[in-house]
Amino acid sequence: MKTVYDFTVKDRKGNDVSLNEYKGKVLLIVNTATGCGFTPHYDPLEEMYRDLRDKEFEILDFPCNQFANQAPGDEEEIHSFCTMKFGTEFPQFAKINVNGDDAHPLFEYLASEKPFEGFGKGLKNAALKKFADKNNKEFGDKAYIKWNFTKFLTDRNGKVMARFEPTADMDEVRKAVEEMLGQ
């Protein structure tokens, strides 16, 4: 059975990193952007990381520029922005594509394990859906991820357990992480 540990990604310096290095840890895998309305998610993500990393928890950050060009910088510019503005310490990887023919296989896998089920209810969520649908039209059936800051939670065995859209309350994300760490 395939798990996230079967994938290799590039670190922000371009070196191969096997996700097998994270075996036995609870992971929160996130596609991010520095110019997005959800960029403030970095604050609760970093707080969660600082509070829980000693319990075998990791956040894996994958910048992506496929959503309205909201991550235009190179890896160093993105990393500098995140560390200076939000004090991020969790691992940040090379910028990738999460949709289309060039989508990284990791994100194809994550989305196949936990497909998109909607942004939720409310005016803000409906507005995001409309914008995301327009943005993702070019990817057709390969629009695996609908927007920046989609989060995937894996258990200690590398199995994808939950998907959180960017509209999910960060307190709910943290609660799910803490529950997973308690198992």
Q: Is 36 part of the annotated catalytic residue set?
A: yes
The SS3 call for residue 101 is coil
Cα gap 63→168, rounded to integer Å:
19
Residue 9 in tokens: 């990604």
- Measure the CA–CA gap between 183 and 111, rounded to whole angstroms: 24
Q: What backbone torsions phi and psi does residue 4 show, to the nearest 5 degrees?
A: -65, -20
Candidates 9, 26, 29, 36; catalytic one: 36
C-alpha 47: how far from chain center:
16
Could you list the active site residues?
36
